[in-house]
């Protein structure tokens, strides 16, 4: 299963309990993403319009005072450090500080992560300040989300937004059943009535007075009609005018003689309560006065719930209610409202058909579907920004003659305590919560041998080797003949049987130390453990575990070539590996499995060294042929090394994952290619080893160094748009092992003439 490409999202905008449409939208969108993608971490940056802020829920991690420009800079810094994969911005000119909300631009310009901006307002005739702000939003955003076709057209025509940058995702709605309105009416004591509904924060541009003026004529024909007006007065209007507008509506109802048929609910209701109000409505009315409204959450909610709608033709309504999916009436026309409402109330067939159409179309608008649309947009934004990074950060050229870095042990030592090497880190600090594992301590033991052969800090390497060897000794379980793998920080094993891979890697490390270790006592321990762990190899079914063990057996046989038992076991494992290749590989897919997964080069590596030491050219040639094919699969068009990504790997007949690229792939390729070079003296293999190593130094898709040459640490991977800044054991050891092997080869070419001949061939 493919690993999610997006793992952490930040949402920027108003947020509940703040009372406004944007706050409701942001809250609902955040919840919808959480519901559909529970593995994705979310955080919210909320805008405040009052000094005291709001009593936000835990997901709100950062607050911005809307008029404080410096707060936007601090928010950008916070988001950059939060390592989010995308920032989802809710844009409305009025919620951000500065002329036309231009304070937002300060934040967007400072962000180093992809930006997906949802445009809640798109103007046909922006003033110069609004035009400037929107042009910058278009430039800085990786994706632009609009909710209507009209908004998409305006963005292209008025603001020259590229069509390929625009995603059309409808306003989300709750998923409610299609039920008869009578089911809910008793909740509001309107049973037996025909209910008209308008809801949302009250303000003069809502046009409710025109419905109140239409009510006398409607009641003459349908005296059982009740008009529910649901919603608190808009907070901004409250601050400026108090409840004057609401009182004017109540007075208008009294003057028109319809006060008994109008129910004002002065409250901001929860979603569950809102569903009940909508459920009770026979007809929803939006008599808004402004045409230039590209989205209306209230319209989306009621339409998608399967309600017959009467509306003025503002942009969202004109698009959504086309083709008789609702009734459009002119602005400020009470007589037209009378005609539309009475026409629907008097024609049950038409009204119910309209409801069915609306409900059917609304299934595409429910929040779960909208969440998928946004996740697709987030992923697209991340890939788009990554492509730009690669475009503007070209990979530099590395010469084969360029000096290699000097090995550094600082991070290796920092990741090791008296027990062994920690498995993971949080940035550069060991992550105690993940404890230790046999896989990494086996790799670390090999690293001490290779680095020791280079003459690096013998005393420190001997001390480290003792800890790693002791860890392997403690990991061996005599009852099963296998190595346990995972140990927590409290030094308790987390399993009763370790993985096959960890057993294979442990044998590999023990074989290396037995043959080449610098401490006599540890050599004896390694040899003893090697012999005790050998019988379990017959039970290994995993193909990589077989390859790891084979490399270890060949290392052991470098010193004890006459050991018939080990040589016989090597023959069996080679036959097993060759059978896997013969059974699965063809000319297009030279691989023993139906997927290129992890640590891939170890499979041909095992055949190359085994065939060479066994003096079996056919086996070695198979390994060389497979390794050449693998190298081709992992070479970018520009000629640099591009390993198979761990975010889905590369299934046979499928699409290869480009990211997350792991250091272990570069190391295993370096090691396999150097083995091929030692067996053949073919310069091609040295070139490929150096290309794979240069991935660590920055010759990669992002043009960024993955290793830290000053400390000897290595980041945990190359993501689509950034480095994974954690620097754990596997990554750091991959860098050190690859570097040590390359350095060893250079040292083995005893003089500058030999090295120069290799480079110049």
Q: 426 pairs with which residues across the strands?
A: 429
Q: How far is CA 473 from CA 118, 133, 434, 510, 556, in A?
A: 57, 65, 20, 10, 18
Instruction: Report how many helices (DSSP H) and strands (DSSP E) the chain contains, helices first.
Output: 28, 25
Residue 686 and residue 563 share a domain: yes
Question: Where does the pLDDT of residue 399 fall: very low under 50, low under 70, confident under 90, or very high at 90 and above?
Answer: low
β-sheet bridge partners, residue 227: 196, 262
Assigned token pair, 73: 């800079």
pLDDT category of residue 388 using cuts at 50, 70 and 90: low
Q: Which of 186-190, 380-384, 484-488 has the lowest mean pLDDT?
A: 380-384
* Single residue among 363, 398, 430 that ends a domain in this structure: 363
Q: What is the per-residue pLDDT for 673?
A: 98
Query: Cα separation of 688 and 510, whole Å?
Result: 28
Averaged pLDDT, 612-620: 96
- Residue 292: what pLDDT? 87
> Do both 576 and 431 map to the same domain?
yes
Percentages of the chain per state (helix, strand, coil), in multiples of 5: 55, 15, 35
Distance in angstroms (rounded) separating the CA atoms of residues 452 and 601: 25
Task: Give the model's pLDDT for residue 2.
Answer: 39
**Cβ neighbours of residue 654 closer than 8 Å, sequence gap 6 or more:** none
Unique residue bearing structure tokens 């509001």 = 188
Residue 4's pLDDT is 46
The token pair at 484 is: 């346990």
Q: What is the mean pLDDT of residues 497-526?
A: 97
Give the pLDDT band of residue 635 (cuts 50, 70, 90).
Answer: very high
Query: Which residues are CB-contacts of 405 (< 8 A; sequence separation ≥ 6)?
Result: 697, 707, 709, 739
558 with 635, same domain: the answer is yes
Residue that terminates a domain, selected from 385, 419, 435: 385
Question: Regarding beta strands 86-91 and 8-13, do their DSSP bridges make them parallel or antiparallel, or are they unpaired?
Answer: parallel
Q: Pairing between strand 486-487 and 476-477?
A: unpaired
Condensed to tens digits (0 to 9), the pLDDT of residues 130-158 reads 999 999 999 999 999 999 999 999 999 99
| Residue corresponding to tokens 């509904």 | 197
Highest-confidence segment of 289-293, 604-608, 697-701:
604-608
Which DSSP helix (H) or strand (E) runs through 371? helix 367-392
746-759 residue pLDDT tens = 888 754 446 566 65
Residue 278 domain-assigned?
yes
* Angle between helix 208-221 and helix 244-255 axes, rounded to 10 deg: 20
Phi, psi (5° rounding) for residue 15?
-150, 145
In the structure encoding, which two tokens stand for residue 16, read together? 């509940």
Domain final position from 309, 333, 363: 363
612/674 same-domain check: yes
Q: What is the 3-state secondary structure (H, E, C) of 108-124?
A: HHHCCCCEEEEECCCCC
Q: What is the residue whose two structure tokens read 């419905």?
A: 211
Please report, for the domain that includes residue 730, its CATH number. 1.50.10.10
* Residue 475 belongs to a domain: yes
358 & 374 share domain? no
Question: What percentage of the chain reaches a pLDDT higher than 90?
Answer: 87
Does 527 reside within a domain? yes
Comparing C-alpha atoms, which of 347, 349, 363, 188 is closest to residue 279?
Answer: 188
Which pLDDT score is estimated for 389? 59
pLDDT of res. 63: 97
For residue 612, tell me if it sits in a domain. yes
Res. 712: pLDDT tops 80: yes
Mean pLDDT of 396-410: 80
**The pLDDT value given to residue 28:** 96
Confidence of residue 396 (pLDDT cuts 50, 70, 90): low
**Cβ-based burial of 6 (10 A; exposed 0-12, middle 13-18, buried ≥19):** buried
Nearest Cα neighbor of 116 from 381, 294, 372, 379 is 381
Beta-carbon contacts of residue 725 (< 8 Å; ≥ 6 apart): 83, 427, 715, 716
Q: Is there a single domain that holds both residue 231 and residue 349? A: yes
Confidence of residue 1 (pLDDT cuts 50, 70, 90): very low
| 105/197 same-domain check | no
Backbone angles phi, psi at 227, to 5 degrees: -110, 115
CA nearest to 46, candidates 86, 88, 101: 88
Range 602-607 average pLDDT: 98
Task: Write out the residue range of the structural domain in which residue 355 sits.
Answer: 182-363
Q: Are residues 447 and 312 in the same domain?
A: no
CB 232 within 8 A of CB 202: yes
Taking the C-alpha atoms of residue 607 and residue 753, their distance in angstroms, rounded to an integer, is 31
Q: Where are the beta strands (DSSP E) in 231-299?
A: 262-265, 283-286
The two three-digit tokens of residue 205, written as one number: 């541009």
399: in domain: no
Give dist(CA 556, CA 95) in Å, integer.
70
Backbone φ and ψ for 119, nearest 5 degrees, come out as: -100, 105
CA distance 365 to 172: 5
pLDDT value at 441 more than 50: yes
User: What is the tens place of the pLDDT at every residue in 227-239?
Assistant: 999 999 988 888 8
Residues 689 and 742 in one domain: yes
Q: In whole angstroms, give the CA distance from residue 650 to residue 655.
A: 6
User: Rounded CA gap, 732 and 460, in Å?
Assistant: 17
Cα–Cα nearest to 319, from 122, 146, 149, 118 = 149
In this predicted structure, the answer to whether residue 80 has a pLDDT above a threshold of 80 is: yes
- Please state whether beta strands 425-426 and 327-328 pair in parallel, antiparallel, or not at all (unpaired): unpaired
Radius of gyration of the chain (CA): 34
Q: Specify the CATH number for the domain of residue 125.
A: 3.40.50.2000
- Read off the pLDDT band of 395 (50, 70, 90): low
Residue 425 backbone dihedrals phi, psi, to 5 degrees: -135, 160
Q: Identify whether the C-beta of residue 576 lies closer than 8 Å to the C-beta of residue 545.
A: no
Instruction: Tell the residue number behind the tokens 């909610």, with chain if given.
Output: 301
Omega before 365 within 30 of 0, i.e. cis: no
pLDDT recorded at residue 237:
87
Asked whether 560 and 619 are in contact (CB, 8 A), the reply is: no
Q: pLDDT digits over 470-502, tens only?
A: 999 999 999 999 999 999 999 999 999 999 999
Give per-residue burial for 285-308: e unless 16+ CB within 10 Å, then b.
bbbbbeeebbbbbbbbbbbbbbbb
Q: 96 in a domain, yes or no?
A: yes
Three-state DSSP state, 426: strand
SS3 readout for 354-368: HHHHHHHHHCCCEHH
pTM, 2 dp? 0.72
Same domain, 454 and 493: yes
What does the pLDDT read at residue 650? 96
And the tokens for 668?
Answer: 């295993």
**At residue 456, does pLDDT exceed 90?**
yes
Distance of alpha carbon 184 from alpha carbon 163, whole angstroms: 44
Per-residue tokens: 561: 């070539």
* Beta-sheet pairing, 283-286 with 194-199: parallel
Contact between 330 and 312 (Cβ < 8 Å): yes
DSSP SS3 for 295: coil
Q: Which residues are within 8 A (CB) of 482 and not within 5 positions of it... i.e. 6 or more apart?
A: 476, 497, 498, 503, 533, 536
Cα 529 to Cα 413, 525, 573, 613: the distances in Å are 25, 6, 19, 23
196 with 283: CB under 8 angstroms?
A: yes
Mean pLDDT value across residues 666-687: 97
Q: Taking residues 352-374, what's their average pLDDT?
A: 95
pLDDT in tens, 722-753: 899 999 999 999 999 999 999 999 888 754 44
Task: Quote the pLDDT of residue 3.
Answer: 38
Q: Does residue 343 share a domain with residue 269?
A: yes
- Does position 633 have pLDDT exceeding 80, yes or no? yes
Residue 177 lies in a domain: no
Round the average pLDDT of the chain to a whole number and report it.
93
Q: How many domains does the chain have?
A: 3
SS3 of residue 328 by DSSP? strand
User: What token pair was written down for 282?
Assistant: 């026979």
Q: Is residue 390 part of a domain?
A: no
pLDDT of residue 184 exceeding 80, the answer is yes
Are residues 621 and 584 both part of a single domain? yes
């Amino acid at each position: 299963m493919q690993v999610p490409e997006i793992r952490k999202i930040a949402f920027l905008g108003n947020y509940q309990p703040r009372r406004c449409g944007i706050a409701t939208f942001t809250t609902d969108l955040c919840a919808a993403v959480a519901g559909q993608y529970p593995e994705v971490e979310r955080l919210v940056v909320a805008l405040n319009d009052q000094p005291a802020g709001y009593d936000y829920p835990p997901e709100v991690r950062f607050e911005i005072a809307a008029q404080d420009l410096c707060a936007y800079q601090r928010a950008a810094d916070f988001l950059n450090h939060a390592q989010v994969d995308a920032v989802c911005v809710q844009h409305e000119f009025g919620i951000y500080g500065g002329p036309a909300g231009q304070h937002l631009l300060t934040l967007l310009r400072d962000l180093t992560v992809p930006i997906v901006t949802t445009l809640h307002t798109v103007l046909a005739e922006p003033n110069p300040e609004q035009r400037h702000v929107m042009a910058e939003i278009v430039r800085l955003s990786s994706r632009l989300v609009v909710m209507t076709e009209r908004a998409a057209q305006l963005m292209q025509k008025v603001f020259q937004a590229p069509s390929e940058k625009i995603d059309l995702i409808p306003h989300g709605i709750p998923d409610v059943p299609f039920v008869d309105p009578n089911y809910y009416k008793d909740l509001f004591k309107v049973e037996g009535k025909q209910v008209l509904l308008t809801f949302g924060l009250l303000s003069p541009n809502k046009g409710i007075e025109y419905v109140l003026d239409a009510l006398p004529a409607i009641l003459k024909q349908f005296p059982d009609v009740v008009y529910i007006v649901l919603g608190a007065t808009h907070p901004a209007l409250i601050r400026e005018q108090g409840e004057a507008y609401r009182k004017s509506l109540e007075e208008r109802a009294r003057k028109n003689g319809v006060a008994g048929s109008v129910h004002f609910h002065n409250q901001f209701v929860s979603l569950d309560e809102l569903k009940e109000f909508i459920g009770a409505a026979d007809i929803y009315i939006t008599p808004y006065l402004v045409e230039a409204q590209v989205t209306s959450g209230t319209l989306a909610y009621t339409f998608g719930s399967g309600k017959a709608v009467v509306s003025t033709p503002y942009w969202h309504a004109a698009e959504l209610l086309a083709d008789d999916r609702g009734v459009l009436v002119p602005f400020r026309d009470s007589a037209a409202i009378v005609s539309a409402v009475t026409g629907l109330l008097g024609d049950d067939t038409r009204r119910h058909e309209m409801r069915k159409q609306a409900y059917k179309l609304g299934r595409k608008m429910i929040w779960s579907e909208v969440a998928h649309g946004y996740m697709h947009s987030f992923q697209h934004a991340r890939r788009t920004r990554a492509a730009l990074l690669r475009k503007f950060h070209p990979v530099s050229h590395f010469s084969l003659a360029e000096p290699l870095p000097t090995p550094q042990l600082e991070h290796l030592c920092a990741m090791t305590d008296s027990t062994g090497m920690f498995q993971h880190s949080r940035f550069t600090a060991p992550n105690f919560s993940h404890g230790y594992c046999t896989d990494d301590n086996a790799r670390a033991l090999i690293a001490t041998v290779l680095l020791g052969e280079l003459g690096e800090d013998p005393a420190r390497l001997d001390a480290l080797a003792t800890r790693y060897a002791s860890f392997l000794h403690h990991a061996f379980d005599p009852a099963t003949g296998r190595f346990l793998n995972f140990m927590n920080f409290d030094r308790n094993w987390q399993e009763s049987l370790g993985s096959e891979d960890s057993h294979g890697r442990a044998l590999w490390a023990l074989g290396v130390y037995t043959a080449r270790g610098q401490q006599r006592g540890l050599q004896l321990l390694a040899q003893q453990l090697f012999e005790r762990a050998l019988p379990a190899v017959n039970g290994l079914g995993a193909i990589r575990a077989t390859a790891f063990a084979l490399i270890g057996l060949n290392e052991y046989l470098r010193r004890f070539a006459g050991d018939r038992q080990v040589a016989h076991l090597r023959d069996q494992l080679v036959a097993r590996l060759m059978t896997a290749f013969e059974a699965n590989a063809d000319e297009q897919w030279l691989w023993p499995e139906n997927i290129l997964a992890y640590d891939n080069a170890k499979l041909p590596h095992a055949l190359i060294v085994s065939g060479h030491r066994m003096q079996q050219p056919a086996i070695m040639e198979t390994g060389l042929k497979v390794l050449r094919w693998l190298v081709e699969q992992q070479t970018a068009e520009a000629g640099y090394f591009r390993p198979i990504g761990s975010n889905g790997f590369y299934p046979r007949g499928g699409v290869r994952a480009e990211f997350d690229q792991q250091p272990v792939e570069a190391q295993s390729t370096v090691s396999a290619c150097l083995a091929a070079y030692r067996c053949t003296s073919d310069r091609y293999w040295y070139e490929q080893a150096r290309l794979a190593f240069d991935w660590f130094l920055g010759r990669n898709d992002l043009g960024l160094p993955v290793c830290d040459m000053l400390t000897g640490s290595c980041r945990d991977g190359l993501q689509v748009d950034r480095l994974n800044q954690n620097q754990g054991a596997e990554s750091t050891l991959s860098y050190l092992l690859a570097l040590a092997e390359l350095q060893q080869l250079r040292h083995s070419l005893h003089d500058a003439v030999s090295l120069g001949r290799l480079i110049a061939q």
